[in-house]
Chains A and B, each alone.
Chain A
Amino acid sequence: MASQEMEQLVQREYKQGFVTDIESDTIPPGLDESVIRFISAKKGEPEWMLEWRLDAYQQWLKMKAPSWAHLDYPEIDYQAISYFSAPKKPEDRPQSLDEVDPKLLETYEKLGIPLHERAALAGVAVDAVFDSVSVTTTFKKELSEAGVIFCSISEAIQDYPELIKQYLGTVVPKADNYFTALNAAVFTDGSFVFVPEGVTCPMELSTYFRINAANTGQFERTLIICEKQAQVSYLEGCTAPQRDDNQLHAAVVELVALEDAYIKYSTVQNWYPGDEDGKGGIYNFVTKRADCRGDRSKVSWTQVETGSAITWKYPSCILRGKHSVGEFYSVAVTNGRQQADTGTKMIHIGEGTKSTIVSKGISAGNSEQSYRGLVKIGPRAKGARNFTQCDSLLIGDRCGAHTFPYQEIGNATATVEHEATTSKIGEDQLFYCRQRGISEEDAVNMIVNGFCKDVFQELPMEFAVEAEALLNVTLEGAVG
């Protein structure tokens, strides 16, 4: 839609009497243009941002939700969702930890989450006094001295409009797919990172430090830009299981790497998977993509996915720059009634580009898991190389593991290797460990962690330790 038309449309509707009380904290369920205007107004956004959102919304209206994934869930009623809600009022929330699902508390205990954080994670009405306030101040100072920008995307729209205009939506176009269009229309927050030329970010950046508003998880939008020779390591999520009142999550993450830049993006996703019957779990539809624009740039995705009822997620790399490198290391664990369809896309455009995919899927209980990966070698990608290793481990006999590898090779000089295995957790391995006195549960953990080693070693140290603990908790009771 041309912007002129858009403007007319915007004005016409405004004339028709669009009035929303922007003092109110919540809007009723439903999605139409007034909702988008409300969100944009609430954020105090400039006009161009509102137009960007409205355009996305118009495109979304014409789209259909994808149905190709190996997932089974009831149709989502988008009119039944509230697209902007302030955190629940204290009186509506659990008043103490005594009112919280004891299973959740047990998990916190096992993960060693500090007491004062448990309440906040479980949504208890307490003044969440994070120690991070002072931490935040110190580390903000250090970052700004280095010239690194790290703030919420809402702040960035206000403070760095030129950067936002230049990069937002250039890696994941608004209407890339159904969920990205929805996200572009209604996103409420997310992170923004900019590392200027030649700078190596002095610390690992973590969303943990950005806890300034609750309920930003539903439609998050993250944009990370590394200029020439810049480097950053970004950590997303935390190992503690997070409750959220919003069932639908549709996040977008865009990474831009210019010449010789390196972005390492690590995720631990542990959204609420639902109760034993899978009720109440989060639906997680995420689009993550990196654009290796510059020559010799490198992007590395590492993810540990253990939560959510439904996961639909394919962190990808567009290897445009010559000799650029894309990596994807993934551990996905499903148990109970969880379903995950996840994988990656490596699009080789530039000469001498290289990609590595290591995917480890573990299915237990009644869960279903699919690996879906595309390796595409364009006609100009002379000497491109890909190595894919994709292993599935089954625990018990009621779960499923599926592999859907796609390859499109458009250049004869490319080398593409694919290795895949599916194995059942060996009775012999279990017996061997137990015959050495190790309990069955510890033996399963040991074997599974061994299976995931190749991926865990890609995680930043602290995350790796947490990820192992998380895996153990997730698979509890999976055998026997």
Chain B
Amino acid sequence: MLVVKDLHVSVEGKEILKGLDLTINKGEVHAIMGPNGAGKSTLSSVIAGKDGYEVTSGTITYEGEDVLEMEVEERARAGMLLGFQYPVEIPGVKNVYLLKAALNAKREAEGLGEIPAPEFMKLIREKLAFMQMDASFLQRAVNEGFSGGEKKRNEILQMLVLEPKLAMLDEIDSGLDIDALKVVAKGVNSLRNEDRAVLMVTHYQRLLEHIVPDQIHVLMDGRIVKSGDKSLALELEAQGYDWLQEETA
């Protein structure tokens, strides 16, 4: 589904990713771990198309398409969605409005018409209930005055409505208490099926207890230095990253 080859990325002239390779197949859940400043968030930002990241060489392909040639919104409509670490506030814009606009943009790209209002409301209510969110939430401005936990739930709610093929989660666990983490994990797990994939970036093994990955990659100094199954997370938890540094040096 997603193939990243020898990706080099610079930010303001400084090279952050230095030849990263990664392949994600349908139905798989991948976790990227690594120390601060290794370039974990850079990877998901580049795939999503954020400004300020210069791809100096390498390729990213998604279902055979050259991702780097696609506009940000095209990537989203094609099914690559990013759950933000710090979702931004948009004053005056109701949550329900953003959700509807996003869903209709996707449907339009798929050649479907706008979703009829009753159908939309039914869908939203169902997803809200699943995420244990109150309906009043729809009438609030996007992320404005939301607690950390509410913001993260909102990111997952959007995913449940938009049903991405490749869900990228950037430190979705940061700032969550254990109850909120369970709800978020439940949401992500409900997205999993044989046609979809998940790429999550995290610092902590804790998240991986709730969303069990098929593969774990350790990102250090702009490259993936080690890949393994879920047991790798426990090793990292116990030993930190230093031993890998030595191993790869």
Contacts and interface: CB of A to CB of B under 8 A. Distances in A.
A432 B102 contact: no
Nearest to B103: A437
Given A431-B72, A432-B87, A438 B102 contact: yes
A438 B90 contact: no
Interface residues of A, number: 23
A432 B48 CA distance: 10
B3 interface: no
Nearest to A446: B93
B73 A431 contact: no
Of A431, A436, A449, A454, most buried by chain B (CB within 10 Å of CB) is A436
Contact of A453 (B76, B77, B92, B162): B92
Contacts of B82: 435
A435 B49 CA distance: 8
A453 B91 CA distance: 9
A454 B76 contact: no
A451 B72 contact: no
Given A435-B72, A437-B102, A446-B101, A429 B88 contact: yes
Interface string A155-180: 00000000000000000000000000
A452 interface: yes
B92 A451 contact: yes
A439 B93 contact: no
A431 B50 CA distance: 7
B10 to A, nearest CB: 19
B92 A452 contact: yes
A442 B158 CA distance: 18
Nearest to A450: B92
Of A426, A432, A447, A449, most buried by chain B (CB within 10 Å of CB) is A432
B135 to A, nearest CB: 20
Interface string B97-115: 1100110011001000000
Of B49, B84, B88, most buried by chain A (CB within 10 Å of CB) is B88
Contacts of A432: 84, 87-88, 90
B67 interface: no
Nearest to B78: A437
A449 B76 contact: no
A429 B98 CA distance: 12
Interface in B88-139: 88, 90-93, 97-98, 101-102, 105-106, 109
Contacts of A434: 49, 71-73, 76
B162 A437 contact: yes
A437 B87 contact: no
Interface string B188-210: 00000000000000000000000
A427 interface: yes
Contacts of A151: none
Given A432-B84, A437-B162, A447 B90 contact: yes
A51 interface: no
B90 A446 contact: yes
B73 A439 contact: yes
A435 B76 contact: yes
B141 interface: yes
Nearest to B84: A432
A429 B82 CA distance: 14
B216 interface: no
Contacts of B72: 431, 434-435
Contacts of A431: 50-51, 72
Contacts of B77: 437
Nearest to B76: A437
Nearest to B80: A435
Given A434-B73, A436-B158, A437-B109, A449 B102 contact: no
A151 B88 CA distance: 51
Contact of B98 (A433, A439, A452, A454): A433
Interface of A: 426-429, 431-440, 442, 446-447, 449-454
Given A433-B98, A449-B93, A450-B92, 19 more contacts: A427-B51, A432-B87, A433-B90, A433-B102, A434-B76, A435-B76, A436-B81, A436-B105, A436-B162, A437-B105, A437-B106, A438-B98, A438-B101, A438-B105, A439-B105, A446-B101, A447-B93, A450-B93, A454-B92
Interface of B: 48-51, 71-73, 75-77, 81-82, 84, 87-88, 90-93, 97-98, 101-102, 105-106, 109, 141, 158, 162
6 contacts: A432-B88, A434-B73, A434-B76, A437-B106, A442-B101, A450-B141
